[in-house]
Structure 1
């Protein structure tokens, strides 16, 4: 906690009234005290309660974000509990104590830090506490039962269901019907297997490790280069051979037409050496 953090200590029986008061009256008075205290680090309300099963105050305090601390019904038990918590806060570094009570026992908080007091108009306040608070004493307009109006209770109505699924509010961008209202067709085991087979690989399968991806890219690049160079060589060789063959065939056809036109048959050159006979 920081030194400027404020803690609100509520003596319920002194500032709120009887613990058996109507929950609406208790709620309204606690709300006024919270608003008057301003920003606080936390708020603690202490009161005597011997029957936890009949304690309705704990629910009201929890609703308002105030920590409830019921203590056994003993003389000044709630005051001593709040002072014990104040010493704990002081040990944690807190130095600002706002007290909702007029009891004189809280005057000792001046030894721990700054004291602020919240009381109702015309509420009796001990002189020692008035001196301890000084200008930090504030009187608030008293909230009476006539100023509280019972809250209208809205009956609970379960949401309609479609095929056993509750119908929720419409999903933005989808339409007036919720996803829960869309009928779901059963999927056979064969269809499920086909979906698993046709499913794209996961991100882990699509993304190999950095070292594996680098070596794979290098091997792929070398293979692509060999394929390109081999293809170029084969293509050039086939093209040259085809060109030479076409030229030789053309020359042979031209020579044959010339000989046919002159009426001569092609003669075979006799290269026999007479001296060898």
Structure 2
């Protein structure tokens, strides 16, 4: 689900992060905080972030099923949105807070994320989602052992189209707030989290509102339930790629290309190659 490729030292709060790295900051490129962060630390942040995203979001689904719809559909939407928001602000400056293979791949297609880091990020995200799903299955066992994954509510075509549209919408917003230095980068977490909330609100009953291959694959692995899984692997990825390229098309600015490939937002996961 969520969110997100390269930093600019133009943001004052980000410069503080750069300074506290001590000697490591001396080796950093001034144009990007995340140049300072070793890949291992980024991967740990992605595993932990994806874990808590899937744990909180899927827990709201399980509790809602187990406790007579006490959470409600709007409540589930709020949980997903708020979780994305707080995690973006928590580790966005470390890993970019992708938590989503579709987001990582989309950024790579526009050269806003290093292509060589994509496999490692995707593996980290799937591991985090699988561990979270396993934890939930251990906690809610027996009669409460509900499937927390995503299943098509109607036809496969309907689910494919809905997942494409909502992921396109999500990635379009991410591209606007995270890759364009004319946007207010500090509000990126709020914007992305709100988009997730809105998408889950109306698309949840139709497809489960995955928008994230890892979100669907983790529970599928744990529960050995792969019905329609291809939809949740292919459609969000295509939607994310289309969303980021659509924003690039309308990005026109008088600033040189060198400037607009460096974002004022912390939501970029690494320096473009």
Q: TM-score range by the shorter chain?
A: under 0.3
Which of 1 and 2 has higher RCO (CA within 8 Å, sep 6+)? Answer: 2
Structure richer in strand, relative to its length: 1
- Rg larger in 1 or in 2? 1
Higher helix share: 2
After TM superposition, the score normalised by the length of structure 1 is: 0.22
- The TM-score with structure 2 as length reference comes to 0.22
